[in-house]
Chain A
Amino acid sequence: MDVKVLDRRRMILVNGVLLALLALSVVGCALLGPVRLDLSQALQDMFSANADAEILFRARLPRILLGVAIGGGMAACGVVLQALLGNPLACPQMLGVSGGASLGGILGLILFPHWLLPIAGGLLGEISWVPLAAFLGALLSMMLVYRFSLFHGRLHPYHLLLSGVIFNSFIAAVIMFLNSIVDFYQAQGLLFWLMGSLSTRAYLTVAFIWAYIIFGFLWLWAKGLSLNLITLGEEAAMQLGVETVALQRQIFVASSLMIGAMVSVSGMIGFVGLMIPHVVRLIVGSDHRLLLPASFLAGGIFLCWADTLARILLAPAELPVGIITAFFGGPFFLFLLYREGRRKLAL
């Protein structure tokens, strides 16, 4: 009897199909939107002041590419966090990092020193002060949660989960407090942080985030085998050769840094990190060496389409993309779970 396991052929097949779907999604989403796009016009006159070209290349494409990176990054972090916390219901939001990043961003928004602008000139504006403040918030919260979960030099998944959740609740309270004291216009900015938005035209930002996330993802993918082992339990993993203490710390830091950067740029987009790993696991199994890249690609596809829907659904208004991910992600997952999950999912 032949033993069925993960082999090179399967890896290439699954990832190849997903990669193709991703490419199709990027193209498809670039052609869809609340306004009609004349593709021939856009491609003909690419470098002049051409409305169609601007719609395609300046308004749509950057945000689609950002969506792919963030969707992929969130899904990948969801996978590793579920492994780290030994809990299939873990998600990136649980670490507290996203809460800290949002709070940092909101404070950056509210306390933005308008008076500084004339003095520092264009420099402050260029650096984009708010995402930096958000990332700072992410770093601080990461250090705090880490400190609270450290016992005898080891990061206990249980404590990590608890600290993260409690930290998040606290942050949520602070954000709600700020919400009650800001004026109408700042409240709009606040909503961005809480529900997420991929709205961007800065290719530089997109490129930076891409580099950052690809690097992080590759690093995590390399740990795929260890992630498999750690889901068997801490002790079992140790007995199978994994330096669990170091691995837990590394995964926590790596995923926190990734999540912090993502939230700093696009606010809190939930559900992707929780749902995509599950859906992908139902299709390709739990071996992280395949689950990670497959989830990354699937997350990118998902968020790409979610953002397109966010642009189209209530046109001309743009919905926060986090609403779309929650709204469609939830029921879809329930449907999938009902159809196939019962015999496969160990819940």
Chain B
Amino acid sequence: MNPAIETRDLSFAYKDRAVLLAVSLSVEKGEMVGILGPNGSGKTTFLRVLSAVLGAQGEIKLNGRKIATYGRRELSKLFAVVAQESHVNFPYTVAEIVLMGRASYHSPFALEGKKDLEVARASMELTDCLSLSDRYLHELSGGEKQRVMIARALAQEPEILLLDEPSAFLDLKHQVQVFELLRRLNRERGLTIVGALHDLNLAALFFSRLVMLREGKIYRDGSPKEVLTEKTIDEVYGIRVRVEPDPSGEKPQVFVCPSL
């Protein structure tokens, strides 16, 4: 069976600065992978290259097919992206935004149909923003906006979900809610999930596989226990921490040791 995502020697450079260097990664269908790394390690760039927004050297295959053989409409039904921030300069309601996720499922000349409305509603229910459906996007808080963006991504009915720091603007409760939702989607629907994360602890709790990037290269790839070691974190993030197992004993948790 073809892996959902497979990259080989993926390299990308902004002008003279190399951001990704020969990244070779393989993600199977139904896997839930967290991409970790400090700012500038290439997390966001990696996701942008994966979602065909940026062109890079090397090979990317989705479901065994080279990415260049896909048309954009096809790609948008295959994977959905939840970006870190969204700047929308025009007044749209939440419902309108979520429905835009259905764009590739109906003719561009037709209005949305019943199925589209149903999928949109279900997505909004899942992300707990159905009550916001008539509100304007720019009136919402950062967290509410994030949930709407996830709803839109889900409305695309993708096989793969790419998220760029999905918990960045959320309060604790909603952070946990989002990650629980992701895990549910992964287990119940077999959604392949790749997320760039900055919160190591939540990553350890919810993701079964972590990939640590350092200066554009893969530094460690494995289970949270394997990846989140004091030595690794020191080498990649440059800070000293203490790693202890969580109450269940299964997952590592990271404790920062600041000089007080």
Contacts and interface: CB of A to CB of B under 8 A. Distances in A.
Interface in B71-103: 72-73, 75-77, 80-81, 83, 86-93, 95-97, 99-101, 103
A236 interface: yes
A8 B48 CA distance: 36
A346 B124 CA distance: 23
Given A88-B89, A345-B91, A5 B103 contact: no
Contacts of A287: 92, 96
A200 interface: no
B256 interface: no
Given A243-B72, A346-B91, A236 B96 contact: no
Given A232-B100, A238-B72, A240-B76, A1 B133 contact: yes
A321 B232 CA distance: 71
A3 B117 contact: yes
Contacts of B108: 222-226
B80 A3 contact: no
Given A3-B117, A4-B134, A346-B138, A222 B91 contact: no
A232 B101 CA distance: 11
Interface residues of B, number: 45
A188 interface: no
A65 B53 CA distance: 45
A10 to B, nearest CB: 9
Contacts of B88: 231-233, 346
A11 B120 CA distance: 21
Given A5-B99, A228-B100, A286-B92, A241 B72 contact: yes
Contact of A241 (B89, B104, B131, B138): B104
Interface residues of A, number: 40
A300 B234 CA distance: 66
A169 interface: no
A55 interface: no
Given A11-B111, A229-B103, A238 B90 contact: no
B96 A240 contact: no
A241 B95 contact: no
A5 B96 contact: yes
Contacts of A83: 90
Nearest to B137: A346
B136 to A, nearest CB: 7
Contacts of B21: none
B133 A235 contact: no
Given A222-B108, A344-B136, A240 B156 contact: yes
B53 A235 contact: yes
User: Which of B111, B131, B134 counts the most chain A CB atoms within 10 A?
Assistant: B111
Contacts of A87: 89
A239 B54 CA distance: 11
B14 interface: no
B137 to A, nearest CB: 8
A232 B138 CA distance: 12
Contact of A4 (B93, B136, B137): B93
A239 B80 contact: yes
Interface of B: 48, 51-53, 72-73, 75-77, 80-81, 83, 86-93, 95-97, 99-101, 103-104, 108-109, 111-112, 117, 120-121, 124, 130-131, 133-134, 136-139, 156
Given A5-B95, A242-B72, 6 more contacts: A1-B130, A228-B96, A229-B103, A232-B88, A239-B76, A285-B96
13 contacts: A5-B95, A82-B90, A83-B90, A88-B89, A228-B100, A229-B100, A232-B100, A239-B51, A243-B72, A281-B91, A287-B92, A346-B89, A346-B138
